[in-house]
Amino acid sequence: MRNWLILHVLAACCFGCRAEESVIQPTEDVEVVEGQPTQLSCTFDTTDLSPYLFWYKQQANGKPMFMLREDTFGTGETATEFKERFHARLNVTAKSVPLTIQRLQLSDSAVYYCALRPTVTTVYSALLQKL
């Protein structure tokens, strides 16, 4: 018997972005089968020639957790707890950065956010500097 999981793709973030910049994610629940791979889509529009795209995961009653960053230089960064099964590849030409999750687990049920630089972390640090 297969266990079904629901991944919530709720919103995209573009904090501090200019009017011509945006991040687009389907705002829908994705039903997936435990143990199988899945891909969550994220497209963006920016005039920045070197965009940075981020993925965050937010579990029920929790705060968004940084998962990974992809950039045009190919260096990127992935938080330790996401290195094994979570991958994204920035495609500047297609203006997309899909998130692939391998071997889905029950603990993967969460809300996933895609964000374009600058992100929430920039807003938080600006607020902390004002205090």
User: pLDDT (tens digit, 0 to 9) for every residue of the chain, 131 residues total?
Assistant: 455 555 554 444 544 555 567 777 766 677 778 888 989 888 898 888 888 899 999 888 889 899 999 998 878 899 999 999 999 999 989 999 999 999 988 888 888 888 887 544 444 434 344 33
Nearest to 110 by CA among 5, 37, 35, 15: 5
Q: What is the pTM of this model?
A: 0.76
Model pLDDT, residue 86:
96
Nearest to 8 by CA among 80, 62, 49: 62
Domain edges within the chain: 4-130
Element holding 12 (H helix, E strand):
strand 4-13
How far apart (Å, rounded) are the C-alpha atoms in residues 116 and 56?
Answer: 11
Q: Which fold has domain 4-130?
A: Immunoglobulin-like (2.60.40)
